[in-house]
Amino acid sequence: MSENENKIMENSFWANIFKPKTESDEILEILKHMPPFEKLKPKELKDIVSLIHNRSYSAGETVFMKGDPGISIYIIINGKISIIDNSQDAKLKLAEFTRGDFFGEIALVDDEKRSASAIADTNSTLAAIFKPDLDDYIRKNPKAGVLILSGLAKIITSRLRNLNNDYFNLYQKLLIKGD
């Protein structure tokens, strides 16, 4: 082996060991910590990564509007997204999400329209998993599908409990003011 070929192999070797994480690696790390996917096996997680469609949004750009068909869950790779309701005269910020957060998960469960709008506050990169793709995966992989749907149920019930607590606290405050 010539000295030149040896240098190429050495450089190639070290480049592969110290290569930077790819976007796919980042997405995989985020999925591992999301309730719908946290109990999946490594191969199942890689299968889910293959369903992902990457989307980029500029600051101020709309991801989806209230009333749009709910067709996917979004996972934030980088950036900041606000969930807003502007059905009244005022714009009400319901939530704010950043790297590693996800939103729009209810779309994976029902066929209803979006209940709020999502707007990019900063330039953002999102990973989207579309309902038809996930439904097909669940049909072909029912054991993993049960884990995914159970994880979605966990998220939805947690958010419902939080909403119930908020409602109860607001109701209590109104009762106290009414005295």
Find the CATH number of the domain harbouring 141.
2.60.120.10
User: Is residue 153 a part of any domain in this protein?
Assistant: yes
Place of tokens 């729009």: 104
Closest CA to 74 of 122, 30, 111: 30
Mean pLDDT by 10 residues, the chain (179 residues): 47 42 77 93 95 95 95 95 86 92 89 93 96 96 96 91 92 82
Judging by DSSP bridges, how do beta strands 53-57 and 117-120 pair with one another? unpaired
Q: Which residues are CB-neighbours of 86 under 8 A, at least 6 positions away?
A: 66, 92, 117
- Tally the domains of the chain: 1
User: Is residue 87 a part of any domain in this protein?
Assistant: yes
